[in-house]
Structure 1
Amino acid sequence: MIQNERASYAEKHENSLGRRIPEPPSRTRTPFARDRDRIIHATAFRRLKEKTQVFVAHEGDTYRTRLTHSLEVAQIARSLAHALRLDDDLAETIALAHDLGHPPFSHAGEDELSELMADYGGFDHNVQSFRVVTELELRYPAFAGLNLSWETVEGVVKHNGPVLHHLDEPAWAKVAEYHTGGAMNWDLRLGTFASLEAQCAAIADDIAYNNHDVDDGVQAGLFTLNDLAEIPLIGPAIAAARADYPSIDDRMLRLEAVRRMIGVMVDDVLQETEHRLKSHRIETPEDVRLAPETLVQFSAGMMQELSVLRRFLFERMYRHYRVNRTRSQARRVLAQLFNLAMAEPEVLPPEWQKAAMTQDRTARARAVCDYIAGMTDRYAIEVHRKLFSLDLALDL
C-alpha cells in the first residue's frame, strides 16, 4: 500500500543538521532535494557515463555504466524509501552520489590504484566519493566540494554501516577528520549507523547490480538463460515468465525475468525491514543510528539465495577470460599513467601540475591519483595512447 505521511523514524529535512558552510535555504527545494540537484550537476556525476560497471564503456552501448547503474540504484532506493514512508529525496540523493569516487575500469581500476597508492596513503572508492563531495568538486566560489547537508554526507560515507573500524586505514585519514573533535569540527558520528534512507541506497545498490549483471552477462554471451535455469531467484523468474508467455522470445524473456527478480528482492527487503523496525522498537531517527544491526536488509533466506547467484556471477562473469583480459589491460594502462606522472608531473594538465609539482612524493601521488581516478574509461585510454604511442607524438 502506498503511503504518503512520513514515518516517525524518517529523516525530517526541517530538522537537518545543516551544511558545514552555512547557506541561505532554497526558496523552492528542501535541503535534500537541493543536494540531489548539486550532485546531478557535478562534473564527477557526468563522468560516470563512461566509467565501467563490468564492461569497459567502449565495448558496447547497451551495457551498464556507472551512470546508468547509479540511476537504477536511485530509482530502487526512492521506491523503497517511499514504501517505508521515508524521505525519498534523501534516499535518491545518497544513491546518486554513492559511486562518484569510482575510478575508470571499475574494480580493476580500484585494485590497481590501491596497489599504486599503498605507500602514499592508499585508495578506497568510498573515501574518494566522500572527498569528491567534500573537497574535490570545484563549482562554487564560496567553498570546495558541494557543501551538502549533514545527512547526505553521513549517508555517502556510512551507507554500508559504521566506519570506525576503517579509520586506522591510511585511505580513511580524510574521513577521520570528520569524527568527534576532528579538524573539520563536523562530527559525522562515524561509529553509528546512517539513516534508513542511506540504508535504502545501500540495499538498492545490491539489488541493482545483481540484476543488471545477469542482464548484461546474458547480452554479452558469457552465459545463457538456460545456464541460469537452476540458479535461485533468476531461475524461478525465467520459469514463471515462460509459463505466463509460452511464445516469448529470448530477449523479452531476459527482460521480464530480470524485472520479476527485482520485484521479488524489493518485496523481501520491505518485509524484512518492517520486521526489524518492529522487533527493535524503532521510533525515531536516533533509534535507527543506535540500532544493533542494519535495519534495511534482506531476509536470511534471500541472503542464502543471493550467495548462490553471486557465486555463479563470480565464476561465469567477473572472472570470465574476456573480462580478465580487459582487467589486465586496464591495470597496465593505469599503472603506466601513474608511474609516468609521478616521474614527470609536467605531463599533467596545468590544473593538476601545481599540486603534483612538489618534492613531497605523498602529496604528488595523491594529486596524480585524484587526476586518474576522475578519468573516464575512454579518456584514460586516449591519454595513454597519446603518451605512449609514437605514432601519435605529433598530436600531443
Structure 2
Amino acid sequence: MTGTADVIATKAVPAATPAAGAPPPAGLAPYACDPARTRGRQHPEAAPANRSEFQRDRDRIIHANAFRRLEYKTQVFVNHEGDLFRTRLTHSLEVAQIARTLARSLRLNEDLIEAIALAHDLGHTPFGHAGQDELNACMRERAPEAGGFEHNLQSLRVVDELEERYAAFNGLNLCFETREGILKHCSVAHARLLGEVGQRFLDRSQPSVEAQLANLADEIAYNNHDIDDGLRSGLITLDGLLELEGFARHYRGVEAQYPGLPAKRLTTETIRRMINAFITDLTASTAGRIADADPRSVDDVRGSPALAGFSEPVRREAEELKRFLFANLYRHFKVMRMTTKARRIVRELFNAFLDEPRLLPPDYRRRGGTAQARAISDYIAGMTDRYAIREHRRLFHMDESI
C-alpha cells in the first residue's frame, strides 16, 4: 500500500459480544456505541480489567507522544507569538469538553466521544493549515503516486502505525469505533486502501452519532475560541464582530443585563453564551432528527441520513461566523506573513530531505521513491512549530549547531 492511507487494513478482531438482544448499558440510548459490542481492534487483546474498551482508547491517546506534541503546534498563532493563544492541545481539550456535554445530553457514550475528540488533530502538521497545505503540495509535486497529505488521514496513520509504545503491535490498536470517528472524511481512492474503517465512504453510510457530534464539537470550539484569540491579538475588532447577527444578539444581551461591565469580560461572556447557544441548539436539533429516524441500534444510525446537525437558523449563523473569521483573521496580513514563512520552512525541509535522505534521522531513512517521501512527510508532520523552526535553522544557517 502507498499514500497517506498507508495504514494497517487488517480485519478488526471483535471483542466479546453479549447475548443478542441484550439491553444497552444503563443510561445509554439504544443507538449509542456500547463498548461491549465494539467491532474490535486490529490486533487481539484481552479485555481491560477495570475500564471499558473506549476508556482504554482514551487513555492510550492521552499517553501518546503525538498527543503531547500538540502542546507546541499552532491553532492560528504560531507557538512563539504568545503564551495565551490556543494550541492544538488546548483546542483538543476544549473539543472534548463540548463533546462530552453533547454525549451526556443525548445518552451517548462519553468515553468514546472524548477519545475521538482528543485524537482528531494528532496528525496535524506544525504551523496549522498552512503547514498541512504546503506538505500536501510538496507530496503531490515530488511524489504524486503517494497520494498527497491530509491531516485527517494522518491522524489515523498515527494511531494505526506511527506510535511506537507497545511490544505486540505498531500504533495504539484502537477500537474500530474510535478509528471511525477520527477518520472524518476520506476520498474514495484512499478509502479503498483502509479496509473496514474506510468502507462507509464507499457505501456512503454514516458513522456513529458520537463520531458525527465530535466533528461538530470541533467546529463549535474553533469558531468561538478563534474569536477570543483574534480579539486578544488585535487582528479582529469588536466593531467587525458586531456586524454578525449572532454575535451582536448575545453581546447586546450581556450589555443589557450587566451595564458597565468591562469590555474584556463583556466579550468573554458573549463568547461563553454563543458556545452555550450552539451546544443547546445542536443537542435539540440532533434529538429531533434522532426521534424522526427512530434508530434502535448503531447499525440503524449507520444506515440513516446524518443525525447530528444544527437547526437551519443556527447553521446560517455558524457559516456567517466562519466566513468572517476566514476573511478577517485567517487572511489578515499579519497571519499571512507568518503562514508564508511557515510554508517556506515546510517546503525547504521537505526538499532538502528528499534530495539528501542522509540528512534525516536514521529511523526515517527508506530506500527511496514513495516510501521515502512518505517517511519524510511523517517526520515533518510530527514536528512541533518550534522544532520545525530549529530544524530549518540547523540545515540552512551556518551558525547553528548540528
TM-score (norm 2): 0.90
Code of the aligned partner of 2:378 = D
2:107 is the alignment partner of 1:81 = no
Match of 1:154 in 2: 180
2:38 is the alignment partner of 1:16 = yes
Match of 2:65 in 1: 43
**Alpha-carbon separation, structure 2, partners of 1:176 and 1:144:** 21
Per-residue CA deviation, residues 278-319 of structure 1 (Å, 9 max, x unaligned), is: 122222111110112x21111111111122111111111010
**Alpha-carbon separation, structure 2, partners of 1:5 and 1:339:** 54
**Alpha-carbon separation, structure 1, partners of 2:192 and 2:71:** 30
**Alpha-carbon separation, structure 1, partners of 2:30 and 2:247:** 36
State the aligned residue count: 371
Match of 1:167 in 2: 188
Match of 2:165 in 1: 139
**8 Å Cα contact 1:103-1:373 kept in structure 2:** yes
Q: Tell me the CA shift for residue 345 of structure 1.
A: 1.0
Match of 1:321 in 2: 333
Match of 1:123 in 2: 149
Q: Tell me the CA shift for residue 156 of structure 1.
A: 1.1
TM alignment of 1:159-238, pairs within 5 A? 159=184, 163=186, 166-168=187-189, 172=190, 175-179=191-195, 189-190=200-201, 191=203, 192-238=205-251
Match of 1:276 in 2: 289
Match of 2:385 in 1: 377
Code of the aligned partner of 1:49 = E
Q: Tell me the CA shift for residue 189 of structure 1.
A: 4.1
**8 Å Cα contact 1:341-1:348 kept in structure 2:** yes
TM alignment of 1:28-67, pairs within 5 A? 28-67=50-89
Match of 1:287 in 2: 300
Code of the aligned partner of 1:26 = P
Match of 1:183 in 2: none
Match of 1:339 in 2: 351
**Alpha-carbon separation, structure 1, partners of 2:354 and 2:362:** 15
Match of 1:391 in 2: 399
2:226 is the alignment partner of 1:245 = no
**Alpha-carbon separation, structure 2, partners of 1:335 and 1:240:** 47
Code of the aligned partner of 2:82 = G
**8 Å Cα contact 1:97-1:156 kept in structure 2:** yes
Match of 2:3 in 1: none
**8 Å Cα contact 2:295-2:301 kept in structure 1:** yes
Match of 2:269 among 256, 278, 291: 256
Code of the aligned partner of 1:334 = V
Code of the aligned partner of 1:207 = I
**Alpha-carbon separation, structure 1, partners of 2:265 and 2:69:** 31
Code of the aligned partner of 1:155 = G
* Structure 1 SS opposite 2:245: coil
Q: Tell me the CA shift for residue 188 of structure 1.
A: 5.2
**8 Å Cα contact 2:192-2:199 kept in structure 1:** no
Match of 2:112 in 1: 90
Code of the aligned partner of 1:167 = V
- Identity percentage of aligned residues: 50
TM alignment of 1:103-114, pairs within 5 A? 103-114=125-136
Q: Tell me the CA shift for residue 187 of structure 1.
A: 7.2
Match of 2:375 among 347, 367, 382: 367
The unaligned stretches of length 5 or more in structure 2 are 1-25
**Alpha-carbon separation, structure 2, partners of 1:201 and 1:285:** 16
**Alpha-carbon separation, structure 1, partners of 2:262 and 2:397:** 46
TM-score (norm 1): 0.91
Code of the aligned partner of 1:368 = I
2:42 is the alignment partner of 1:26 = no
Code of the aligned partner of 2:324 = F
Q: Tell me the CA shift for residue 227 of structure 1.
A: 2.2
**Alpha-carbon separation, structure 2, partners of 1:363 and 1:227:** 48
Per-residue CA deviation, residues 121-178 of structure 1 (Å, 9 max, x unaligned), is: 2111111001001001111010001000111111111x45xx4xx122xxx2xx5333
